[in-house]
């Protein structure tokens, strides 16, 4: 972890703010609507819980190397609604996911066609709050084809859509993603347009879509820039996430940015909206997301098992909340 350093950006921070992160955010609850926990460790879960992250959404994505069979997609989706959801619960974090065929792998059209047949089997499972992350990577015809098919699925299932916008030629990709969704008759507020920056935010907000920002070191957005964006655009329909994954990323990006916003004079209510409430409102239309499930803290007992396995390995001592009546 980065200690007390709150800045997340590509360059050396000019004037490091020395703030006690946990002290600053101790009364706050956070919802990280985009994080790939499959790639993260139990230490991350523990640090996230300590920093006030009460719930997360894990979008289905590219695993860093291309899959060679639809079966591995099936197992991956199953783990998002199964083992990973359970693993999060063992740290007191409520886990939701979005299911979809990512843009990169849409280009393997033979495989993509098989994956499309799997998707309907998962969309109505417990904890699935949308279709995602889908959209454009290289902006190819195959990507567009599978994006359109998945928008149709979302329309039929009345689910929110989590849209990945491309790193290259971002503005064009973002505009196309929104135009195509409107063409298919989806409501703008059914889509969460992700990985925005200063170049795209205005177009997204003015069309009535949700604008998500990924605070990710070196590439997407630093959190000092994020503070400036909230100062300029306010908090309506804006949310932030970490998109932490197998790359150099920061699973505490949301609480760190909240602390930085506080230090920079953003109001508590605006911080609450962009780090918690807006994501809940956006994904609640799935009917699967009830804040009561994470506002009231579930008791943690790490001896619990999922399909016969717990998060503990031989001889490890479990974390059991003090209020638990179990004596071991
Ligand atoms: Zn992602």
For 25-67, write each residue's pLDDT tens digit. Answer: 999 999 999 999 999 999 999 999 999 999 999 999 999 999 9
| Interval between CA 132 and ligand 1 midpoint (Å) | 9
- Fold of domain 26-295: TIM Barrel (3.20.20)
The pTM (predicted TM-score) of the whole model is 0.90
| Interval between CA 301 and ligand 1 midpoint (Å) | 29
pLDDT of amino acid 307: 82
Residue 104 near residue 65, CB atoms below 8 Å: no
Over residues 188-210, the pLDDT tens digits come to: 999 999 999 999 999 999 999 99
| Interval between CA 134 and ligand 1 midpoint (Å) | 9
Average pLDDT, the chain: 91
| Interval between CA 45 and ligand 1 midpoint (Å) | 17
Residue 219, CA distances (Å) to 32, 167, 223, 247 in order: 19, 9, 12, 11
| Interval between CA 63 and ligand 1 midpoint (Å) | 10
Domain ranges of the chain: 26-295
3-state secondary structure of 306: strand
pLDDT of amino acid 327: 44
| Interval between CA 211 and ligand 1 midpoint (Å) | 15
Q: Which among 31-35, 304-308, 322-326 has the top mean pLDDT? A: 31-35
| Interval between CA 323 and ligand 1 midpoint (Å) | 36
Percent of the chain with pLDDT over 70: 92
| Interval between CA 121 and ligand 1 midpoint (Å) | 22
| Interval between CA 133 and ligand 1 midpoint (Å) | 7
| Interval between CA 315 and ligand 1 midpoint (Å) | 35
pLDDT of amino acid 10: 55
| Interval between CA 164 and ligand 1 midpoint (Å) | 7
| Interval between CA 184 and ligand 1 midpoint (Å) | 24
Over residues 102-160, the pLDDT tens digits come to: 999 999 999 999 999 999 999 999 999 999 999 999 999 999 999 999 999 999 999 99
| Interval between CA 245 and ligand 1 midpoint (Å) | 7
The per-residue b/e assignment along 258-295, b for 16 or more CB within 10 angstroms, e otherwise, is bbbbbeeebeeebbbbbbbbbbbbbbebbebbebeebe
Cα–Cα distance between 120 and 125 in angstroms, integer? Answer: 10
Choice between 266 and 1, residue whose per-residue pLDDT is larger: 266
| Interval between CA 35 and ligand 1 midpoint (Å) | 7
Query: The dihedral of CA 111, 112, 117, 121: what is its sign?
Result: positive
Confidence of residue 326 (pLDDT cuts 50, 70, 90): very low
């Amino acid at each position: 972890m980065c200690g007390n350093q709150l800045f997340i950006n590509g360059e050396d921070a000019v004037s490091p703010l020395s703030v006690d992160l946990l002290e600053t955010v101790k009364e706050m609850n956070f919802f990280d609507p985009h994080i790939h926990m499959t790639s993260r460790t139990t230490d991350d879960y523990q640090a996230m819980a300590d920093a006030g992250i009460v719930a997360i959404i894990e979008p289905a994505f590219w695993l860093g190397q291309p899959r060679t069979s639809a079966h591995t997609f099936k197992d991956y989706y199953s783990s998002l609604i199964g083992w990973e959801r359970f693993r999060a619960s063992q740290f007191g974090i409520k886990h939701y996911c979005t299911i979809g065929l990512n843009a990169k792998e849409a280009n393997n059209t033979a495989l993509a066609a098989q994956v499309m047949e799997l998707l309907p089997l998962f969309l109505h499972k417990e904890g699935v709050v949308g279709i995602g992350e889908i959209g454009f990577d290289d902006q190819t015809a195959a990507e567009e084809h599978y994006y359109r098919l998945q928008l149709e699925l979302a329309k039929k299932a009345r689910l929110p859509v989590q849209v990945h916008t491309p790193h290259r030629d971002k503005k064009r990709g973002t505009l196309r993603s929104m135009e195509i969704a409107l063409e298919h008759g989806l409501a703008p507020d059914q889509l969460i347009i992700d990985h925005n920056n200063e170049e795209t935010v205005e177009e997204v907000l003015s069309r009535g879509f949700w604008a998500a920002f990924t605070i990710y070191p070196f590439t997407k957005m630093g959190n000092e820039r994020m503070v400036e964006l909230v100062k300029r655009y306010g908090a309506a329909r804006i949310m932030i996430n970490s998109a932490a994954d197998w790359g150099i990323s920061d699973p505490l990006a949301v609480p760190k940015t909240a602390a930085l916003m506080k230090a920079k004079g953003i109001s508590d209510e605006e911080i609450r909206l962009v780090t918690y409430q807006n994501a809940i409102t956006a994904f609640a239309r799935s009917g699967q997301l009830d804040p009561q499930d994470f506002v009231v803290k579930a008791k943690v007992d790490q001896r619990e098992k999922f399909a016969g396995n717990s998060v503990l390995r031989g001889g490890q001592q479990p974390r059991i909340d003090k209020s638990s009546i179990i004596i071991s």
